[in-house]
Amino acid sequence: MVKNILVVGASGYVGSQLVPVLAQKGYYVTATGRDLNSLQKRHWSSLENVNIVQLDLAISSDLSLLLKNIDIVFFLVHGMSHGDDFVDVELFSAKNFSEQLKASQVKQVIYLGSLQPISALSKHFIARKKTGEILRESSVVVTELRAGIIVGPGSAAFEVMRDFVYHLPIIITPKWMASHNSPIALENLLYYLVELLKFTPTTHKIFDIAGPELLTYKKQMQIIGKLAGEKVHIIPLAFLTPKMAAYWLKIMTSVPTNIAKALVGGLRYDLTANGEEIQALIPQPLLSFEQAVASTFAHERDIIDSVIWGFDADALSRWQPGYSYYPKQAGYRLKTTVSAESLWQQIQLIGTQEGYFFANILWRTREWMDYLAGGNSLKRYRRDPRKLALGDRIDSWKVISIKKNAFLSLLFGMKAPGLGRLEFNIVDKGTYRELDIRAWWHPAGFWGLLYWFVMMPAHLFIFKGMTKAIVKKCKSIS
CATH code at position 104:
3.40.50.720
> Within this chain, do residues 409 and 335 fall inside the same structural domain, yes or no?
yes
If asked whether residues 239 and 148 sit together in one domain, one would say yes
Same structural domain, 32 and 113:
yes
Q: What does the pLDDT profile of the chain (478 residues) look like in tens digits?
A: 678 999 999 988 899 999 999 999 999 999 999 888 888 888 898 899 999 999 888 888 888 899 999 999 999 987 555 445 567 788 888 899 999 999 899 999 999 998 888 776 667 788 888 999 999 999 899 999 999 889 998 888 888 888 888 887 787 776 667 788 899 999 999 999 999 999 999 999 999 999 999 998 889 989 999 998 888 888 877 666 666 666 667 777 777 766 766 666 666 778 888 899 999 999 999 999 999 999 998 887 777 878 889 889 999 888 888 888 889 999 999 999 999 999 999 999 998 888 899 999 999 889 889 888 888 888 777 888 889 999 999 988 999 999 999 999 999 999 999 999 999 999 999 999 999 999 999 999 889 988 999 998 899 999 999 999 999 999 988 6
The pLDDT value recorded for residue 374 is 86
**What does the buried/exposed string (b/e) look like for 42-61 if buried means 16 or more CB atoms within 10 Å of the residue's CB?**
bebbebebbebeebebeeee
CB 255 within 8 A of CB 163: yes
Residues 6 or more apart whose CB falls under 8 angstroms from that of 235 comprise 170, 171, 172, 173
| Predicted local confidence at residue 243, as pLDDT | 64
Q: Is the CB of residue 476 less than 8 Å from the CB of residue 467?
A: no
Last residue of some domain: 303, 323, 346? 303
Using alpha carbons only, what angle is made at residue 136 by residues 130 and 139, rounded to the nearest 5 degrees?
Answer: 150
- State whether 145 and 243 are in the same domain: yes
Residue 102 CB contacts under 8 Å (≥ 6 apart), including other chains: 138, 139, 140
Q: 257 and 324 in one domain?
A: no
Look up the CATH number of the domain holding residue 395.
Answer: 3.30.530.20
Sign of CA dihedral 257, 260, 263, 264: negative
- Dist. CA 463–CA 456, nearest whole Å: 10
Q: Which of 256, 271, 303 is the last residue of a domain?
A: 303
pLDDT at 95: 92
- How far is it, in rounded angstroms, from Cα 217 to Cα 181? 7
pLDDT of residue 176: 67
**One domain, residues 299 and 311:** no
- Angle value at C-alpha 199, between 195 and 201, nearest 5 degrees: 135
Give the total number of structural domains in the chain.
2
Three-state DSSP class for residue 172: strand
Same domain, 373 and 281: no
Q: How many CB atoms lie within 10 A of CB 131?
A: 27
Domain enclosing residue 375, as ranges: 307-476
- Taken in order 110, 29, 22, 60, the sign of the CA dihedral is negative
Is the same domain home to 272 and 386? no
Residue at which a domain ends, from 272, 288, 303: 303
- Tell me: do 63 and 120 sit in the same domain: yes
Tell me, yes or no, whether 335 and 230 share the same domain: no
In 3D space, the residue among 420, 421, 425, 432 whose CA is nearest the CA of residue 407 turns out to be 425
Do residue 325 and residue 294 come from a single domain? no
Note if the pTM is more than 0.85: yes
In this structure, the answer to whether residues 147 and 276 fall within a common structural domain is yes
Q: Is 151 helix (H, G, I), strand (E, B) or coil?
A: strand
Q: How long, in residues, is the chain?
A: 478
Q: How far is CA 417 from CA 264, 365, 374, in A?
A: 27, 18, 14
